[in-house]
Amino acid sequence: MHQNNLNVGLNSDLGSLARGDQHHETIDISDVSPEKLLRHLTLMERIRQAEEIIGDNVLNGKIKCPCHLAIGQEAVPVGVSAELTSNDSVYGTHRSHGHFLAQGGTTFELFAEVLGKVSGCSKGMGGSMHLHKASTGFVGSVPIVSATVSLAVGSALAYKIKKQTGVGVAYFGDGAMEEGSVHESLNFAANYKLPMLFVCENNLFSSHLHIKLRQPHDSVARFAQANNLHWEVVDGNDIIAIQRASKRLIELARSGEGPGFLEAVTYRWRGHVGPREDEDVGVMRKDDLNMWKKRDPIRRLAEALINAGYLKNNEWGESKKRITSELNADWALALDAPYPHLSQLLGSVYANGSDL
Amino acid sequence: MNPISTKNKFNYGEAIREGFVHLLDNHPDVFVLGQGLWSPWYVGNTMKDLDVIYGKDRIIDTPVSEAATTGAAIGASLTGLRPIVIHPRVDFMILATDQIVNQAAKWSSMLGGQAHPAVTIRAIINRGGEQGAQHSQALHSWFAHVPGLRVVTPSSVLDARDLFIASVLSDDPVLFLEDRWLYDQVDELPASPQLTPLHELGPRISRPGEDLTIVGSGYSAYLALKVADELARSGIESEVIDLRILNPFKKDLIVKSVAKTKRLLAIDGSWETCGLGGEIIASVCESLELGTLKAKPMRLGLPHAPAPTSKPLEEAYYPTVKSVLDAIKSMNISKH
């Protein structure tokens, strides 16, 4: 074992994609309309600020449920959801605030949910880790690692049986690649050529443990290759690269060419759970985190827009302030929202409530 | 379409097949997936030729992936279909426990009643024949413990068909557990199924009596009827209650019966410790006034050991009509 020097014996298939000191450059936005780019930028900023508000309120004790923040990873869901509609079926994980918001969920419903309020997206019954909004195509997120991957495959199977154009989408992390049911799901989806997109957000960590301490290679796309899936590995902090790859893979899936696998390499700025940065947790975490913050997906898009003349510095500043005041208003509303009635404890165990 | 349908006598396995035919003929949103569906070796006569009649795209024989297959069934149900996922042995279904217990059972409550996995998980208890510890288990007590699941254990030919149909048409996740020891049982089957919603159904009295209440489910309910026949020869009239649905557990009929007979025997095909028999006895005892019972309540289940393979050990392992009758002697039931 080489736990004190992780570069010894490392098989890095990801190369520079796994490095925080690389890819600080502005992203390539050629051939994309400024309107779309500004929408992406605004949505990523909304997701980041929403999670910052959640983090602050975990610290001050107003939020009690476990919250897993994805600050630093906003480009992935915004890029993928840009190619999806409410007729697709998207499934998330324990770390799914961004997946929920990118697919069309509102910040008010998210805030109310993490506060356990009945106005939340899951009626206050789920908290941060169990989000749902069928009308947007966001079917659900759960904290059992890998559990929704096979469910998303089932949605893809349903679309194929019903001859509908929807795709199943499963978000999961590099840790989930160590779970057996993911490998069953890759084989199952490939075997039946299902309209399915697997999205692995490889943030190099599972909880506190770096991928080098868990797997012999740092790129998980090798499992997609083994199952004959279409696959791409992209910079997970480059929203346009993510969107372009998603578009290619989703088009193949929708046209009956079989499932796709997207590995988006990124990094989470906060700890596994809660708002702290956990610099003391995990080998090399402190140095890496400082570098990865310079690979910020939001800054890289904002600067690209400013350089291209689509956005002025002061406009971007105003825009961020406007988002802050909107989210603060949502947060205040959520704080005032009512809790579920006690009857809800038994009221939704079965479809008809409870027959006892 | 189905050549068997013209007759009126069916065995239990054929009755399940009749349930499939009804569902597949009348409900285009129903499809079936699982291992061994194209082979009688796995599912007996319960699915004979269904893949030929309805197509291999609707009767899907899957890879050896219990977790993914069960998860896919749940996901397909959340996308508007009514899947039936089949595990030809309960023992192998354990590999899909996350999908059943953490996912199917919890999504409705956990997401505020907005998502209902209308999936039926059909599993077969297939034991005896020296198959041993990992080919024999009846784990209904585990799953009866979990809120959000419905657990159905048909004992009769009629229930094999009609409870199966009701399970698949339920909007909740249902674990439908059948016992291969019941497959050869033959009975008449009315041409049309009784389409009562599953949540309106519960235990039923399969034989009325005054002297003793015997409660069982699945094969144990069948065994209870055989025991009652023997007891009747010596003038003891047992009331037999077939639980039929273990989850949610509905105790009222049992309590009412024991208030009348004042004696209770629970027979169960799973291990006694922390099992269904204990639940039956506890729910009756806490509902009756002290002193109601004329004999100590009794449960008969499996000894606290995995199923053996060796013939004499296996013979001693499972309750039989004789072992149940021997045990009942200690209740000192007076003849009519």
CATH code, domain carrying B34:
3.40.50.970
The Cβ of residue B316 has, within 10 Å, a number of other Cβ atoms equal to 12
The answer to whether the Cβ–Cβ distance between B110 and A124 falls below 8 Å is: no
Mean pLDDT of B173-197: 96
Quick: pLDDT tens for A50-79.
999 999 999 999 999 999 999 999 999 999
What digits encode the pLDDT tens for the residues B13-45?
Answer: 999 999 999 999 999 999 999 999 998 888 989
Put simply, the answer to whether A154 touches B83 (Cβ < 8 Å) is: yes
Chain B CB contacts of A65 below 8 Å: none
The answer for B113, left when phi > 0, alpha when psi is -120 to 50, beta otherwise, is: left
The residues facing B239 across adjacent strands are: B213
Query: Considering B200, B215, B250, which residue would you say is the last residue of a domain?
Result: B200
Same domain, B245 and B315: yes
**Rounded-to-integer distance, Cα B205 and Cα B224, Å:** 11
| Preferred mutation among B78, B170, B199 to probe A, highest tally of A CBs within 10 A | B78
Average pLDDT over residues A176-205: 98
Taking residues A230-245, what's their average pLDDT? 98
- Of B151, B167, B200, the one marking the end of a domain is B200
Beta strands in chain B (DSSP E): 9-11, 30-34, 59-61, 82-87, 120-125, 150-152, 174-179, 186-188, 204-207, 212-216, 238-242, 245-247, 264-271, 298-302
What's the domain range around B211?
Answer: 204-331
Task: For residues B268 and B184, state if they share a domain.
Answer: no
Taking an 8 Å cut-off on Cβ atoms, the answer to whether A150 and B71 are in contact is yes
Instruction: Give me the sheet containing B298-302, strands edge to edge.
Output: B204-207, B238-242, B212-216, B264-271, B298-302
CA dist B220 and B224 (Å) reads 6
Nearest CA distance, A148 vs chain B (angstrom): 8
- Option in B67, B170, B248 nearest A181 (CB): B67
Instruction: Round the average pLDDT of chain B to a whole number and report it.
Output: 96
Clarify whether residues B148 and B218 are in a common domain: no
Number of domains in chain B: 2
Do residues B169 and B189 share a domain? yes
Confidence at B1, pLDDT banded by 50, 70, 90 = very low
- The residue among B99, B100, B109, B198 with the most chain A CBs within 10 A of its CB, best to mutate, is B109
State pTM to two decimals.
Answer: 0.96
Query: How crowded is residue B49: how many other Cβ atoms within 10 Å of its Cβ?
Result: 14
**Residue B335 banded pLDDT, cuts 50, 70, 90:** low
Q: Give me the phi and psi of B110, to 5 degrees please.
A: -65, -25
pLDDT tens-digit series, residues B77-111: 999 999 999 999 999 999 999 999 999 999 999 99
Say which of A89, A155, A350 has its CB closest to residue B108. Answer: A350
The answer to whether B113 touches A348, Cβ cutoff 8 Å, is yes
Residue A284's pLDDT band (boundaries 50, 70, 90)?
A: low
pLDDT digits (tens, 9 = 90+) for B289-316: 999 999 999 999 999 999 999 999 999 9
Structure token digits, residue A41: 């930028």
Q: Let me know if residue B289 belongs to a domain.
A: yes
Question: Looking at CA atoms only, how far is residue B257 from chain A in angstroms?
Answer: 19
Q: Is the pLDDT of residue A147 over 60?
A: yes
Q: How far is B81 from chain A (nearest CA, A)?
A: 7
Architecture of domain A15-336: 3-Layer(aba) Sandwich (3.40)
For A355, nearest residue in chain B (alpha carbons): B199
Structure-derived torsion over alpha carbons of residues B94, B100, B102, B104, reported in degrees to the nearest 10:
170
Residues B28 and B159 in one domain: yes
Contact (Cβ atoms closer than 8 angstroms) between residue B211 and residue B237: yes
Residue by residue, DSSP assigns B199-251 as GG---EEEE--SSEEEEE-THHHHHHHHHHHHHHHTT--EEEEE--EEES---
Task: Taking residues A223-250, report their average pLDDT.
Answer: 98
Contact A89 B75 (CB under 8 A): yes
Kindly state whether residue B336 falls inside one of the protein's structural domains.
Answer: no
Q: What is the mean pLDDT of chain A?
A: 94
Could B76 and A158 be called an inter-chain contact, meaning their C-beta atoms sit closer than 8 Å? Answer: yes
- Please give, rounded to a whole number of angstroms, the shortest distance from the CA of B322 to a CA of chain A: 36
What pLDDT score does B336 carry? 52
Compute the residue count for chain A.
356
**pLDDT tier at A46 (50, 70, 90 boundaries)?**
very high
B136 and B209 both lie in a single domain: no
The answer to whether residue A6 scores a pLDDT higher than 50 is no
Confirm if B149 and B170 have CB atoms less than 8 A apart: no
Q: Which residues are registered as beta bridge partners of B302?
A: B271
Which of B137, B168, B200 marks a domain boundary? B200
Picking from B32, B35, B79, B107 by the largest number of A CB atoms within 10 A of its own CB, the best residue to mutate is B79
Band (pLDDT 50/70/90 cuts) for residue A10 is low
| pLDDT at residue B6, rounded to an integer | 63
Contacts of A124 in chain B (CB under 8 A): 112
B99 shares its domain with B161: yes
Q: Report CA-CA distances (Å) from A91 to B75, B79, B196.
A: 10, 12, 34
Whether residues A157 and B98 touch (CB distance < 8 A) is answered with no
Least trusted range by pLDDT, from A277-291, A310-324, B204-218, B266-280: A277-291
Q: Which residues of A touch B116 (CB under 8 A)?
A: 351
Q: Is there a contact between A187 and B62 if contact means CB atoms under 8 Å apart?
A: no
Distance, in Å, from the CA atom of A298 to the CA atom of A27, rounded to the nearest integer, reads 10
Contacts of A351 in chain B (CB under 8 A): 108, 113, 116, 118, 170-172
Clarify whether residues B177 and B246 are in a common domain.
Answer: no
**Same domain as B150, residue B38:** yes
* End-to-end Cα separation, chain A, in angstroms: 56
CB nearest to B112's CB, from A124, A147, A152: A124
- The enclosing domain of B242 has a CATH number of 3.40.50.920
Chain B residue with the nearest C-alpha to that of A353? B113
CA distances from B28 to A161, B62, B83 (A): 10, 20, 11
In terms of domains, do B75 and B161 share one?
A: yes
Q: Are residues B140 and B238 in the same domain?
A: no
The ipTM of this complex is 0.95
- pLDDT tens string B50-85: 999 999 999 999 999 999 999 999 999 999 999 999
CB contact under 8 A, B102 and A147: yes
Q: How far is A219 from chain B (nearest CA, A)?
A: 23
